[in-house]
Every structure is written in structure tokens, then in C-alpha cells.
Amino acid sequence: MLRRTLLVIFLLSVSLAAQVPSYRIKARSISELQADQRMLIGQWCRLDYEGSRLTDDGWKKFDTLTSFKHNPDFNSVYVISRYQMTPPDRASMSGSVSYMVVGRYEVGIGYTPMNDNRLVDFKFAEKDGELQIVDIDPVQPNVSKPAFINWVKAQIASTKNASDKLALQQALNLLVPPPPKPKTEEGSSSSKQTQ
């Protein structure tokens, strides 16, 4: 009798679990979980480095990586030279990335060159048997210098506000200084006339 009851409970549990897809958990070893975390963080960081978070179209590339429905709001963008993942913690569903920061652009303030390290923490959860990023702290984008320059140029072209445009132009001048003006040769033009 006890066996029958246990069998019925087991079968009911299995059938209920099969009907609720959002609670399916993929069986993973710790090393598989860490590999999945590294892969997920790596994909996020690569897309972020390329500047994908700076545009609405680019944000669509993050759909499979995160549970976020929208790009988190940000008032600043970090310009980075590189990033390095730290090994995921065995005891939790989290991981970290260290960024080498070369500058920061803040809306309303402008661009500030810097030489700093920045640590960003990622939190994970499973949904429908797949690992996803569910939290990032802090949330500001971390982009490469070329991606940031392209974004600044696009912002300059589309911005109507004069002070915002000036701050963007100053940021661009700090990152890509204008070429020096050619020196005029005063002596060469007068020597040509005497010949």
C-alpha cells in the first residue's frame, strides 16, 4: 500500500513538473554551471564592448542572455580598453568582471579621461532550463573606445540641444584630437616670386 501511494505521488509530481515549464531546472555539474556562467558573461561583455547596449537595436542582441525586458537606465558610459572575467564563485549563482577603464562619459557633464579598474557583479538564475543574467551591479555600459566614438558621432548628428552637442564634441576631441593645422611657409612663397 505504501509503495502504491509513493508511486502515485511520484507520478503526480512528475506530471505537474512537466506542465510548469518555467520551473524546469537543467541538471548541471558545478564545472558545467561555471562554464555556462563564463559563456554567458563572455557574450554579455563582448556585446557591451561592441557598444550594443548604446542603441535600441543593439539591445535586442541581449534577449537570450538576460531576464531584463528593457535595457537598464544609465546616465554614464564607461570607455574601457579590456575586461577580464574572474572565476565564478562555486557557492553561488554569481560572477564578476574586472574592466580596465580609460574614461567615463556622464550625461550633462561630459567626458573624463581616467585610468581605473572597475568591478561589475553578475547574478544568474535558471528559467526554462536555461541560465540567464538576472542582475548586474553597477549597470552602466562598458564599451570600447571605437564603439564609444561611433556612438558620440551619431549623438552629435542627432542631438538638437546645444549644450549636449558641445559636451559630445568635447568628448570626441579628447578621444580623437583634431589633426594639427598645416604650417604655412612664409619664406617659400616669397622665394617663388623672386625666381
Distance between CA atoms of residues 96 and 55, nearest Å: 24
- CATH architecture label of 25-144: Roll (3.10)
For the chain, the domains span: 25-144
Query: What distance in Å separates the CA atoms of residue 193 and residue 3, rounded to the nearest whole number?
Result: 113
Report the C-alpha gap between 72 and 59 in whole angstroms. Answer: 10
| pLDDT tens readout for residues 109-154 | 899 999 999 999 999 998 888 889 999 999 999 999 999 999 999 9
pLDDT in tens, 34-77: 888 889 999 999 999 999 999 989 999 998 899 998 998 899 99
Query: Tell me, what's the pLDDT at 78?
Result: 97
